[in-house]
Amino acid sequence: MNNLIIMCGVPGCGKTTYSKKLLKMHPDWEYVSRDEVRYEYVTDQAHYFDHEYDVYKEFCNRITKHLIDDKTVIADATHLSKGSRLKLINSLEVKPDKVTVVIVMTDYHICMERNALREGITRVPDQTMRNMIRAFKKPDARFEDYIDEIVYVDGAAGTK
């Protein structure tokens, strides 16, 4: 049985920190980070989105590969809107048997503080952060019928 765990939340909320905790508890699970894929293509902020098509394609290909192998896969990216979550599902060559969305809830001030500590291409510009915070739409399984489970996690306890 393959399972997809879609991490959901703004930058700095603790998605990656929580994902790593899940991996420690479940070492047989797989982890695919859109940021890690992007850093394979991009080395500076000026060209951050220049390879976005290739980055997204590779992100989905890696997830698909693990789903084909009947693995549980954590998809670590912001997935801030219904459209972005649906795009992920529709971009996979294999449909997961179960989809869980993990929403990492963290006060936006904490997210902004954590982001300010980041350096180089890992730091999101402040205005972009504010736009992402405003744009975030929580998943609702009533309107996103591919979602089997929604889990809320407190991201404030993560490290800065």
Where residue 31 sits, what CATH number does that domain have? 3.40.50.300
* Number of folded domains that form the chain: 1
**Which amino acid appears at position 16 of this protein?**
T
Tell me what the mean pLDDT of segment 129-143 comes to: 93
The alpha-helical segments, DSSP class H, found in 47-100 are 52-68, 82-91
What single-letter DSSP state applies at residue 81? S
Q: Out of 18-22, 113-117, 138-142, which region has the weakest mean confidence (pLDDT)?
A: 138-142
Domain limits for position 42? 3-157
> Phi and psi at residue 124, in whole multiples of 5°?
-90, 135
Where would I find the beta strands (DSSP E) of the chain? 3-8, 30-33, 72-76, 98-105, 149-154
Is the whole model's pTM more than 0.75, yes or no? yes
